[in-house]
Amino acid sequence: MEQLRILKVIIAYVFFAGIIFAQQNPAISKEYSNEEITQMIKTYKTSNSRDAIPPTLLQQRFQTDFSKAYDVEWEVAGNIYEVEFDIQDRDYKAYYHVKGNLLMYIQEINGAELPAMVRNAAENKYPKYRLDNVDKIRRGTEVLYSVEMEDKSSDLEVKLLLKDNGSILEETFNY
């Protein structure tokens, strides 16, 4: 009898853990390649976006993908909608195609959540800098990390975009 109760508790835990995991990792559309998504987001970022009320389809898809979101704000440029929101006091940003396809989302994380390979690559490249802001990016089939680092002795900042294996894709300095 005790074993049956323990089994029920384990099954319930696995079920709810699955719901939480699914909530944190909504499915990115496979309709587009990583390169196509990158180009769509670049086009969006270089366009004049404006506040928007998204179509019902997008609102429903967003609610399914991020059901715990609050402080939701939408913008649109061309066929791309950007939505900024919070979940459990963390900043998020998601990008949807007008057809309802989730292209990419960005989740604020803390430095302790950064994979060791990514942290080591950033700290080895800039040993006199300290971690400042860290984001986890799911774009197409990729998991990327945006890491902002500050020089300990000056106001110089560097922003790195790294793959999950630690390779650096981009470096941008802010003076």
Query: Is position 5 within any domain?
Result: no
* Domain match, 98 and 115 both: no
Please choose, from the candidates 99, 34, 33, 107, the residue with its C-alpha nearest in 3D space to the C-alpha of residue 61: 99
Q: Are 161 and 145 in contact (CB under 8 A)?
A: yes
Is the pLDDT at 116 greater than 70, yes or no?
yes
Is the pLDDT at 92 greater than 50, yes or no?
yes
- CA distances from residue 115 to 41, 71, 120, 122, 129 in whole angstroms, order as listed: 25, 29, 9, 11, 18
* Domain match, 83 and 130 both: no
* Domain match, 138 and 165 both: yes
How many structural domains does the chain have? 2
* Domain match, 116 and 81 both: no
pTM, rounded to two decimals: 0.82
Helices (H), the chain: 2-24, 34-45, 56-65, 116-125
Kindly report the CATH number assigned to the domain that includes residue 132.
3.10.450.40
| Residue 135 structural domain | 111-174
| Region 95-105 average pLDDT | 96
Task: Tell me what pLDDT residue 17 has.
Answer: 39
Query: Is position 142 within any domain?
Result: yes
Task: Tell me what pLDDT residue 21 has.
Answer: 41
